[in-house]
Amino acid sequence: MMMKKNLLFVLALLVSMSFIFVSCKDKNDDVVEGAFAADVAGTYVGTIKYPAAAKLAAGMEDEDVEILVEKTGESTVSISYLPIGEEEGEVDGNEDENQDGTGVEEADKETIENIVVKKQGNKYIFAETTVEDKDDEGKSYKSVLSGYVVDKKITLTLKGMGTEESETISITIEGTLKENN
């Protein structure tokens, strides 16, 4: 009889311990659609990070950029990024001034529009957005933008075709919120 009680006790203990290893899905793991554009809008300061192959092949270097996230709808934004660090009135070493006096050429500014913002827990996620553009030689190319904002830090990834058809280049842009818009 004592043996049966011990066996039942051990069996009950094993069953109860099995519940320890079962986890419930956290409701914060779900991606939620909503009016989150205003939550991520702002000016961020950061760096474009080029892959090592691009640095070697094309002589590219990481560069400081200003990232402007503008609300275009309740759940959509446009993202622009442009080089910073040049003296005002100086563009690529020249003394030419832009119409607004900033010295930043409009051609240096890259803008991606109609990006949907979603939320997952405390992270705001930018839906993958396809960007179609032309290079300096007029050749068309496509790239895909994705990214997120968490704790006032933005991370963007642009993946696209390189100079070779089989080559994919991934550029990362990271920054920290400077001011809300």
Asked if the structure places residue 2 within a domain, the reply is no
pLDDT of 58: 75
Asked if the structure places residue 6 within a domain, the reply is no
pLDDT at 164 over 60: no
pLDDT tens digits, 64-92: 999 999 999 999 999 998 888 654 444 44
Asked if the structure places residue 49 within a domain, the reply is yes
Least confident of 29-43, 85-99, 148-162, 167-181: 85-99
Asked if the structure places residue 95 within a domain, the reply is no
pLDDT at 14 over 70: no
pLDDT of 18: 60
β-strand partners of 71: 77
Q: Which domain holds residue 148?
A: 28-85+101-180
38: how many CB neighbours lie within 10 A of its CB?
14
Asked if the structure places residue 8 within a domain, the reply is no
pLDDT tens digits, 27-60: 556 899 999 999 999 999 999 998 887 778 777 8
Asked if the structure places residue 20 within a domain, the reply is no
pLDDT tens digits, 112-132: 999 999 999 999 999 999 988
Predicted model pTM: 0.71
Give the chain's domain count: 1
pLDDT at 98 over 50: no
SS (H, E, C) the chain: CHHHHHHHHHHHHHHHHHHHHCCCCCHHHCEEECCCHHHHCEEEEEEEECCHHHHHHHCCCCEEEEEEEEECCCCEEEEEEEECCCCCCCECCECCCCCCCCCCCHHHCEEEEEEEEEEECCEEEEEEEEEEEECCCCCEEEEEEEEEEECCEEEEEEEEECCCCCCEEEEEEEEEEEEEC
Asked if the structure places residue 174 within a domain, the reply is yes
Asked if the structure places residue 67 within a domain, the reply is yes
Q: What CATH number is associated with residue 69? A: 2.40.128.350
